Amino acid sequence: MSDTGRESFTDKASAAIKPDSQKSTTEHFGDKMKGHGDSMASTLQPNSEKSGTQKAGDAFSSNSNHNDQSLLDKAKNAVGMGDKH
């Protein structure tokens, strides 16, 4: 089961299995938008907050971030507002 706010594993699998030649323009656009949204959610969510199944799903789809800091935390730290200066 995927984490809240993430694309479900069944949706990812369905999109990957169906050949592009059989997809409508709307399906292509939807797949692309969902993929970008899920990739962004993966990057924003620190690995330490991901469930085991989400970590495995991200690793399988090459969608994992390789740090424990979220982009928001990095931005805060960059301007001196975070925990690490």
pLDDT per residue over 13-58, tens digit each?
888 888 888 989 999 898 888 888 888 888 888 888 888 888 887 7
What's the predicted TM-score (pTM) here? 0.59
Structure tokens at 80: 């001196």
- Report the C-alpha gap between 73 and 79 in whole angstroms: 10
User: What token pair was written down for 33?
Assistant: 């938008």
- Poorest-confidence range of 6-10, 52-56, 62-66? 62-66
| pLDDT for residue 24 | 93
Using 50, 70 and 90 to split pLDDT, how confident is the model at 70? low
- Chain centroid offset of residue 71 CA: 13
> How confident is the model over 69-73, as a mean pLDDT?
61
How far, in Å, are 43, 51, 71, 75 from residue 78 at the CA level?
A: 17, 28, 10, 5
Identify the pLDDT of residue 26.
94
